[in-house]
Amino acid sequence: MHETTLLLIEVGALLLGLSLLGRVAVRFGISPIPFYLLAGLVFGHGGFVPLSASEDFFEIGSEIGVILLLAMLGLEYSADELMGNLKRSRLAGLLDAVFNALPGAIFAIILGWGPVAAVALAGITWVSSSGVIAKVLRDLGRLSNRETPVILSILVIEDLAMAFYLPVLSALVIGAGIAEGAIALSIAVAAVLVILFLALRHGRLISSLFSAKDSESLLLGVLGLTMLIAGLAAQVQVSSAVGAFLVGIALSGQVAHNAVQLLTPLRDLFAAIFFVFFGLSTDPVDIPPVLLPAAILAIVGIATKTLTGYLAARTAGIGIPGRWRTGFGITPRGEFSIVIASLAVTAGVEPQLAPLATTYVLITVIAGPLLAKVPDAQWFKAAVRRRLDTQSA
């Protein structure tokens, strides 16, 4: 069979299956993300029916999915809101780094993997998945909630921190000298500052490049600018997600409003592809040997993230239900964790790091959307009311 024909069949069948899985998720009132991941496991490397012709398509589509998820999240907020949230959440960002990076570093040392692997595992357990969290917030209708800016601030701080962390890790894993590492870090810092300056100070000028009335031109222009900036950011070792998010922040007014409506269907399509590809790239055979240590690390990681979110929301004056929504909402890890693990393993740091990170991420990505639903449960709301009544008495 011709390769293009096989690709069409594989992609079409998988997308149709995802549609049915999405209906099942809606029926039970949960996020479809766990279903998409499991579908990827079934049809990925080592799965029951491995897909071959469409693997490259899903890899590229997954990258576009992350970019669109973050760009759309940026479109929901203005530059002033972003800076205000970042200033208020500086302490939360510091606590996030301490509470969630340390367990990974300590775990690697206990396993005897050495200091470089400890730095890598610290990053894996530290950074949450902006893509997964953005999807969950949208699925649960929480984009306008009071706690969402707190969640967003933590994610932005993490993503910006990755712009400094990744060059440092790259220098460590390849054994680069201090001079080479400093140059890579300087380039990354300069790139972040330039993107931030353009987004925050010249957002209106950027918006004026597009016509809000011409749908076709607006769609092509915003999508093109987002992917261009995301690619340039990645080229200088800055997260493509950071670049895409800041493009969303830069756009404002009717241009931003119309762009949201035009890009929403594309975001939904490529976001689903992102989660499927994560499962496709995971070999189920690699999971059992590292399941126990990954599960222990995931339990610790979920607990520390929940504590981070709860304290950050409390500091921001959010009520108890919102604190729990914040804590549970930031538990999933994802794209950055896999990138960090791949970087370390490719350089020969520790072979077991890749399957451990993959299993760890899978557990948190499946558990995260389910935990995010807990604060909406009647039993949880009743427990919160009882606690408030006890405190007031």
Would you tell me how many other CB atoms lie within 10 Å of the CB of residue 118? 20
Taking 3-state DSSP, the helix, strand and coil percentages for the chain, each rounded to the nearest 5, stand at: 80, 0, 20
Q: Residue 390: what pLDDT?
A: 77
Q: Please, are residues 190 and 238 in contact by the beta-carbon 8 Å criterion? A: no
- pLDDT tens column, 269-313: 888 888 788 777 777 887 888 899 999 999 999 999 999 999 999
Burial class (CB in 10 A: 0-12, 13-18, 19+), 292: exposed
Q: Mean pLDDT throughout 153-165?
A: 80
Burial class (CB in 10 A: 0-12, 13-18, 19+), 176: middle
Instruction: Please tell me whether the overall predicted TM-score, pTM, comes out greater than 0.85 for this model.
Output: no
Would you tell me how many other CB atoms lie within 10 Å of the CB of residue 253? 13
Q: Residue 178: what pLDDT?
A: 60
CATH architecture of 3-375: Up-down Bundle (1.20)
- pLDDT tens column, 143-155: 889 899 889 889 8
- pLDDT tens column, 304-351: 999 999 999 999 889 888 999 999 999 999 777 877 887 777 777 787
Report d(CA 32, CA 19) in Å as an integer: 10
Q: Please, are residues 355 and 337 in contact by the beta-carbon 8 Å criterion? A: no
For residue 281, which amino acid is it? S
Which residue ranges make up each domain of the chain? 3-375
